[in-house]
């Protein structure tokens, strides 16, 4: 019968195993050193000696077990140490300092215990011990960082929930002021709501906008709803509004609407509806910023999008049914004609065409729509219909 026996441990492993027999004494010494050498631990009322001793003992057992070949890597004690210290507010540098102190205490004990062993054994012990200490302190630091990241995510999610309540609430609801206080918004100030539509290619409409605004000393809250971004800007200075507008215009990837400024945060819900309407004033896919109240006709049409589409089809239907190139040519000419105040010569100059070409295009529009460019009522209908067509994305390139 063959009997399998475990090979004897190496000299270095034997020294580490011997220290496990002194684990209680080692733990007491290291706890005393940590309390004496680190101010964060010395002054902490949240950490009792018994709690520190429990953490120290678990880590020492894991380190010596790995060093002695009794067990493999056991990161759980280090993970627990990092997370608990983060929960209690012990600084990370103090946690890492405790591991370095542990390394010193272990090394001093290993030197005493390994007296008479070869320099090769000491070298192996030192190399393995500090490698394991580095590994465990790194695991503790990672767990510490993970806890803080979880807390930040929790706080951010709570703020987003409160912001949604603010946007969905009624200004007459007295709890809205409590929500505003919880979001650390001033009781009276200058606010504006931003509604940014998802870009045509599906990319975020305003990437990193909160940080960009913060660099301009403008604090903001943001949530994402079905890809669209909604923000509340706290305009603390007289120039903040224009700086925010410039920044939003620079980074716009789709339609962006701004509400009018308002003075109390409980009005954010009504302001959101203004911002949504302002955004819809621009043609679909346009990377532009529109403020509520800047353009009366598109804003009126945005209030009734179905009626606006019907109006465009009723007046410009024959034009919209043309091949795309001809349709866009006529609509762009009409748009520029309005922009130039009805001056055919200026339209021709801008388009680099002869004036007669512009005249022919306008006559073609009159024939297709049954409206003339000399009748004020017809001109008004053409203007509104053109705005409705552009807003609905029905044609034209300008």
Q: Mark whether 350 and 225 lie in a shared domain.
A: no
User: Residues 167-182: pLDDT tens digits?
Assistant: 998 777 888 888 999 9
**Domain for residue 167, yes or no?**
no
pLDDT at 6 over 60: no
Percent of the chain beyond pLDDT 90?
Answer: 67
What pTM value is reported for the model?
0.70
Residue 260: per-residue pLDDT:
96
Q: Tell me, what CATH number does 184's domain have? A: 3.30.70.120
**Domain for residue 164, yes or no?**
no
Q: Mark whether 122 and 60 lie in a shared domain.
A: yes
- 256 SS3 class: strand
Q: Mark whether 184 and 234 lie in a shared domain.
A: yes
Q: Are 251 and 228 in contact (CB under 8 A)?
A: no
Q: What is the dihedral of CA 376, 377, 378, 381, to 10 degrees?
A: 120
**Domain for residue 98, yes or no?**
yes
Rounded-to-integer distance, Cα 320 and Cα 331, Å: 9
Q: Tell me, what CATH number does 375's domain have? A: 1.10.10.2840
Out of 131, 149, 167, a domain closes at 149
Q: Are 335 and 384 in contact (CB under 8 A)?
A: no
What band does 395 get if pLDDT is binned at 50, 70 and 90? low
Q: Mark whether 267 and 342 lie in a shared domain.
A: no
Out of 269, 294, 319, a domain closes at 294
Q: Mark whether 131 and 18 lie in a shared domain.
A: yes
Rounded-to-integer distance, Cα 320 and Cα 151, Å: 55
Higher pLDDT, 220 or 11: 220
Q: Mark whether 235 and 362 lie in a shared domain.
A: no
* DSSP β-bridge partners for residue 228: 225
Q: Mark whether 139 and 25 lie in a shared domain.
A: yes
Query: Strands 256-258, 289-291: parallel, antiparallel or unpaired by DSSP?
Result: parallel
Q: Mark whether 219 and 127 lie in a shared domain.
A: no
Average pLDDT over residues 367-380: 95
What band does 43 get if pLDDT is binned at 50, 70 and 90? confident
Number of structural domains the chain divides into = 3
Rounded-to-integer distance, Cα 142 and Cα 83, Å: 9
DSSP class of residue 219 equals: E
**Domain for residue 194, yes or no?**
yes
**Domain for residue 21, yes or no?**
yes
Domain that holds residue 245: 179-294
Q: Are 391 and 280 in contact (CB under 8 A)?
A: yes
Average pLDDT over residues 96-109: 93
Q: Tell me, what CATH number does 80's domain have? A: 1.10.490.10
User: Residues 104-115: pLDDT tens digits?
Assistant: 999 998 888 877
**Domain for residue 160, yes or no?**
no
Q: Mark whether 214 and 344 lie in a shared domain.
A: no
**Domain for residue 159, yes or no?**
no
Out of 127, 149, 171, a domain closes at 149
Query: CB count, 10 Å around CB of 301?
Result: 26
Q: Mark whether 120 and 46 lie in a shared domain.
A: yes
Q: Mark whether 31 and 139 lie in a shared domain.
A: yes
What band does 3 get if pLDDT is binned at 50, 70 and 90? very low
Average pLDDT over residues 113-137: 84
Q: Are 354 and 348 in contact (CB under 8 A)?
A: yes
């Amino acid at each position: 019968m063959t009997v399998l026996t475990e090979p004897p441990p190496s000299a270095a492993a034997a020294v580490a195993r011997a220290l496990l027999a002194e684990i209680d004494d080692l733990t007491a010494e290291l706890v005393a050193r940590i309390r004496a050498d680190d101010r964060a631990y010395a002054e902490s009322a949240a950490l009792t000696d018994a709690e520190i001793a429990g953490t120290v003992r678990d880590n020492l057992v894991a380190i010596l077990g790995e060093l002695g070949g009794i067990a493999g890597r056991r990161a759980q004690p280090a993970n627990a140490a990092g997370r608990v210290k983060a929960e209690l507010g012990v600084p990370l540098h103090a946690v890492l300092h405790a591991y370095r102190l542990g390394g010193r205490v272990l090394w001093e004990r290993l030197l005493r215990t390994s007296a008479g062993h070869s320099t090769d054994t000491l070298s192996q012990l030192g190399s393995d011990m500090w490698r394991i200490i580095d590994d465990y302190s790194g695991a503790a630091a990672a767990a510490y960082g993970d806890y803080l990241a979880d807390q930040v995510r929790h706080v951010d999610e709570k703020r987003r929930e409160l912001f949604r309540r603010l946007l969905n609430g009624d200004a007459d609801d007295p709890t809205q002021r409590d929500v505003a206080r919880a979001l650390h918004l001033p009781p009276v100030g200058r606010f504006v709501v931003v509604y940014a539509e998802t870009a045509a290619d599906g990319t975020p409409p305003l990437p990193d906008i909160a940080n960009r605004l913060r660099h301009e000393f403008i604090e903001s809250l943001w949530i994402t709803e079905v890809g669209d971004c909604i923000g509340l800007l706290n305009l603390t200075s007289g120039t903040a509004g224009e700086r925010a507008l410039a920044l939003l215009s620079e980074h716009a990837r789709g339609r962006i609407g701004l509400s009018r400024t308002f003075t109390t945060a409980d009005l954010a819900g009504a302001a959101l509806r203004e911002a949504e309407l302002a955004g819809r004033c621009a043609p679909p896919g346009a990377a532009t910023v529109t403020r509520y109240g800047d353009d009366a006709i598109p804003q009126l049409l945005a209030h009734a999008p179905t009626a606006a589409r019907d109006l465009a089809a009723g007046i410009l239907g024959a034009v919209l049914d043309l091949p795309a190139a001809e349709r866009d040519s006529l609509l762009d000419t009409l748009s520029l004609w309005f922009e130039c105040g009805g001056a055919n010569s200026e339209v021709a100059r801008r388009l680099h065409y002869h004036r007669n070409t512009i005249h022919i295009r306008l006559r073609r529009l009159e024939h297709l729509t049954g409206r003339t460019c000399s009748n004020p009522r017809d001109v008004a209908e053409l203007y509104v219909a053109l705005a409705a067509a552009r807003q609905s994305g029905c044609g034209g390139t300008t």
